[in-house]
Amino acid sequence: MGDLGHSGFSLRRLGLTVYLPATVYSIGHASILPVIAVSAVELGASLSVGGLMVGLIGLGQVAGALPSGALITRFGERTAMLLATAVLLPALLVAVFATAVWALGAAVFAIGLAAALWGVARQAYMAEAVPIAMRARALSTLGGVSRIGAFIGPFVSAAVMIFLGTAGAYWVYVACGVLAGALLMALPPVSHDRRAATPPTRLRDVIVAHRRTLGTVGAGALMISVMRASRQTVIPLWGTHLGLSPTTLAIIFGISGAVDMLLFYPGGAIMDRFGRRAVALPSMSTLAAAHALLPLSSGPWSLALVAMLMGLGNGLSAGIVMTLGADASPTAGRAQFLGAWRLVADLGNGAGPLLISAIIATVSLPAAVLTMAAVGAAAVATLWRFVPRHIPPGPG
């Protein structure tokens, strides 16, 4: 992370002001994911409604993607992230003290909105602040530290819940939100990080002007997101299909996550040196192949090997969606474009599990897994066709 790039820029500059807040924020966000459904059930909801509560975070992220671009354009990236924190903290307090399922649902949806604003603002900041020669390494590192935080979060919340019960997970997020917001105060603004003197570019105009990019490279990014979400769904489903215990599944998933976290920086370095295709195509090919091999696994060892292969492909692709979006984003209207890009990626994250569930309900689990392998192959073809062979020559 100490590499020097264009004009002496070093990723160390981003450590305390970007990467540390991202890690802290991810710890908090991941800390509540295992307990949202539990909280709903404790309030009297059914299991199905509890599952719906978890989905409201994703719905909030989808709903918040496009408005985030407009807010960032008006107020700047740093202010937008602080605004996200100002939305997040009251929502978490509502979740802690909620006495009705609808109140919990509203709080969870607001948490998703805040997450969307955080995510788009961070990507927009990096696209502006980091020289293009180091963009992939910077964004892959951002994706990597966020994954590390997401890996740590459930363990932190589990420890706190020993003393505070289910509410402890939300208090972890409160503490992480406060700390991340405090760290953001030291974030140096980029040159445009202030209210523009001229009227900002309209969101609709940006989307119309770049509709081809969103429909081609964006389609590849959507399929990448589908494959990533699929990985998190099919491993536990196939393990359950094999009759493995929850403990065994947790270990397998943890091993896969460990492989995932090892590769984010090498992936970014490869992209910066050899172009985005050099990571996009191998990573999606690996995920597609792993899905195709999954129906052949018949026990914990073979499932662990397939899960590790999925972790390899997923880890290598860390930051690829953000990098492709930053490369494609225009100088004028960058934040609005990245809001639309975030919407595409979030739709992919939501579509993966829904598609798997639909195919399982109508056909079978093996058919669902092989369909995901086909989606991975389609992603490879789309990315090969539309992602430029070489790194863009100038500012995105």
H or E stretch covering 204: helix 203-209
What is the rounded average pLDDT of the residues 103-127? 92
- Is the pLDDT assigned to residue 395 strictly greater than 80? no
User: Band of the pLDDT at 219, cuts 50, 70, 90?
Assistant: very high
Whether 202-396 and 17-190 are alike in CATH topology: the answer is yes
Which pLDDT score is estimated for 370?
95
- Which residue(s) pair with 10 in the sheet? 4
Query: What tokens were used for 98?
Result: 């909620």
Q: Are 148 and 24 in contact (CB under 8 A)?
A: no
Average pLDDT along the chain: 86
17-190 classified as CATH 1.10.540.10: no
What is the rounded average pLDDT of the residues 115-123? 91
Of the ranges 172-181, 188-197, 307-316, which one carries the lowest mean pLDDT score? 188-197
- Is the pLDDT assigned to residue 190 strictly greater than 70? no
CB atoms within 10 A of CB 271: 27
Cα–Cα distance measured from residue 152 to residue 379, given in angstroms and rounded to the nearest whole number: 30
3-state SS of 325-383?
Answer: HHHHCCCCCHHHHHHHHHHHHHHHHHHHHHHHHHHHHHCCHHHHHHHHHHHHHHHHHHH
Question: Exposure string (b/e) for 199-218, b if CB count within 10 Å is 16 or more?
Answer: ebbebeebbeebeebbebbb
Whole-structure pTM over 0.85, yes or no?
no
**Among all chains, which residue has been given the structure tokens 């609808």?**
102
CB atoms within 10 A of CB 367: 14
- Is the pLDDT assigned to residue 205 strictly greater than 90? no
- Is the pLDDT assigned to residue 243 strictly greater than 70? yes
**Domain residues of the chain, as ranges?**
17-190, 202-396
Question: What homologous superfamily does CATH list for 202-396?
Answer: MFS general substrate transporter like domains (1.20.1250.20)
Q: Are 352 and 58 in contact (CB under 8 A)?
A: no
CA 105 from centre of chain: 21
Which pLDDT score is estimated for 212?
92
**Among all chains, which residue has been given the structure tokens 């430029």?**
388
